[in-house]
Amino acid sequence: MSMIDISSLQLEQLKEYITGLGAKPFVAGQIYRWLHQRGAQSFDEMTDISKSLREKLSQQRYITGLSIRKKQVSKDGTIKYLYQLSDGNCIETVLMRYQHGNSICVSSQVGCRMGCTFCASTQHGKVRDLAAGEILRQVYATEKDIGERVSNIVMMGIGEPLDNFDNAVAFIKIISSPQGKNISQRNISLSTCGIVPRIYQLAQLKLGITLSISLHATTTEKRKVTMPITNAYSVEELMQACRDYTKTTNRRISFEYSMIKGVNDTDEDAQRLARLLKGMISHVNLIPINPVDGSPYTQSDDAVIRAFQKKLQNLHVNATIRRRLGQDISAACGQLRNENR
Ligand code: SF4
């Protein structure tokens, strides 16, 4: 039997497995709490589980682990971790401190195959998907390191979560379960470059999370230049999927729009963006881009970003400018991993 990471199992799956070993269903709840509330890293720590069951578990299952390979602390309190997985691959996790609490940005894959030209995470392609347990461990390990709770999660680190659909959904279900960390789904957002069939699939699950779309351009032609996913799904098809998502889930979508000098920051872009979002419950997050080594793009001037926001607001589009955190610690996603390959 091949070894399976036990922390990637949802409670129902764990119950099925544990009862299959002859234990009572409530024992699954005990193990689940050890894993997801107390962050146990070995079966030996589970002192209220019988020794014979712990032995069986350690023969058949393992608990995935992470270690800190590198840690950078910004003067604004942002912490960027380079975590090493059990197979030696590395991923990034970023902890951001806000007045409303700690927010964590987690990775969902080792590398990314989506090829967005402004993104450091994709420069060496995708190595593999992360298991749900490996996404969870980023939260647990970071909480342990800072000695504080995390209250908000953004799935916006290395990788495309909808390209790792089942594991991303399992992560959301486990981290939000009352027997786990019990982080409200309303405090979780999942960011995608726009894999259209997966957006329809996600809508059917009716999760309480916020879906965030990395849009960055307002026409199919322009978006193709920076986001190759647009060769498969046009902006119109993407917006149709977004309309379906808001209708099915009644949840507002957040649109991420990186402000790139001379590429997508004109008045016409603002007008087109407003037209695309007309009648949809949405919010636009304008992002001053972090510089990426080897990328030809530079950030729009502050005055241009503010004017773009004003234009959107005048066209009745809800728009904010994202605060820049961790600028002094190579915070552009994927950069730290690239530097340590
Ligand atoms: S922006 Fe997201 S989807 Fe695009 S290459 Fe980077 S990690 Fe992948």
| The pLDDT value given to residue 327 | 66
What pLDDT band is residue 291 in, cutting at 50, 70 and 90?
low
Q: Which among 340, 333, 77 has a CA at the least distance from the CA of 191? A: 333
Rounded to the nearest angstrom, the distance between the alpha carbon of 160 and the centre of ligand 1 is 6
Q: Please name which of 235, 195, 203, 212 lies closest in space to residue 157, comparing C-alpha atoms.
A: 212
Residues 113 and 247 in one domain: yes
Is the same domain home to 276 and 140?
yes
pLDDT at 236 > cutoff 80? yes
Together in a domain, 248 and 125: yes
Residue 87 shares a structural domain with residue 46: no
Q: Find the 267 Cα to ligand 1 centroid distance in Å.
A: 26
Note the helical H segments in the chain.
Answer: 11-20, 25-36, 51-60, 132-146, 165-175, 196-205, 220-226, 235-249, 267-277, 302-314, 335-339
Write out the residue range of the structural domain in which residue 246 sits: 66-339
Q: What is the largest CA-CA distance in the chain?
A: 68
Assess contact for 260 and 299: CB atoms under 8 A.
Answer: yes
List, for residues 75-114, the tens digit of each pLDDT value.
989 999 999 999 999 999 999 999 889 999 999 999 999 9
Active-site option among 16, 55, 92, 160? 92
d(CA 133, CA 91): 14
Is the pLDDT at 7 greater than 50? The verdict is: yes
**What is the CB < 6 Å shell around ligand 1?**
112, 114-116, 119, 121-122, 158-160, 193, 214
Tell me: pLDDT of 118 over 70.
yes
**What average pLDDT does range 267-279 have in this prediction?**
95
Domain count, the chain: 2
State the distance from the centre of ligand 1 to the C-alpha of 62, rounded, in angstroms. Answer: 30
Count CB-CB contacts under 10 A for residue 99: 4
Q: Is 92 a catalytic residue?
A: yes
Residues 152 and 267 in one domain: yes
pLDDT band at residue 120 using 50, 70 and 90 as cut-offs: confident
Q: Which among 160, 212, 260 is the best mutation to test ligand 1's pocket, defined by most ligand atoms within 8 Å of the CB?
A: 160
DSSP 33-72: HHHHTS---SGGG-TTS-HHHHHHHHHHEE---EEEEEEE
Domain of residue 35, CATH code: 1.10.150.530
User: Do 145 and 275 reside in the same domain of the chain?
Assistant: yes
pLDDT band at residue 1 under the 50/70/90 scheme? very low
20 and 120 part of one domain = no
Residues 212 and 298 reside in one and the same domain: yes
Which of these three, 62, 91, 108, is where a domain ends? 62
**57 in the same domain as 70:** no
Do 150 and 104 share a structural domain?
Answer: yes
Domain co-membership, 230 together with 151: yes
State yes or no: is 116 an active-site residue: no
Per the prediction, the chain carries an average pLDDT of: 93
Q: What is the pLDDT of residues 24-61, one digit of tens each?
A: 999 999 999 999 999 999 999 999 999 999 999 999 99
Ligand 1 centre and the CA of 115: distance in Å?
Answer: 7
Q: CATH no. for residue 174?
A: 3.20.20.70
Looking at the whole model, is its pTM more than 0.85?
A: yes
Residue 333 has pLDDT above 90, yes or no: no
Determine the pLDDT at residue 330: 60
Query: Rounded to an integer, what distance in angstroms lies between the CA atom of residue 199 and that of residue 163?
Result: 11
pLDDT at 70 over 70: yes
CB atoms within 10 A of CB 173: 17
